[in-house]
Amino acid sequence: QVQLVESGGGLVQAGGSLRLSCTASGRTLSRYGMGWFRQAAGKEREFVAAITWTGDSTYCADSVKGRFTISRDNAKNTVYLQMNSLKSEDTAVYYCAATIQYASTDYREYPYWGQGTQVTVSS
């Protein structure tokens, strides 16, 4: 069983930056693909970024490509989402998720989830 805890969310002005962290409180993340998803109020869950367990491949949604970067530090059991050039459209609750041995853009393939952290971008 893996438990994930997100942190780093908050209120930021448009054009600013935030760095989200996701730390495992259970088993190691060494062999888990990791993903970031977000859900804005009244909208469906949306894929943001994913990274393989080796960290050699990353995937980003078109809406955040060039602005967001996903990375991981397996020694710290932590995955990061660096968010730059934030827009008001990025306002959402951000969730990290883990899946065994691969990464996916489909939230249904992730059995382990964090509680979410709120990101609010003011314009």
14 vs 27: which has the higher pLDDT: 14
Question: Quick one: tokens of 20?
Answer: 């989200």
- 24 membership: H or E segment, kind and range: strand 18-24
pLDDT digits (tens, 9 = 90+) for 76-111: 889 999 999 999 999 999 999 999 867 889 999 999
pLDDT digits (tens, 9 = 90+) for 34-80: 999 999 999 999 999 999 888 889 999 999 999 999 999 988 889 99
| Predicted confidence (pLDDT) at residue 28 exceeds the cutoff of 70 | no
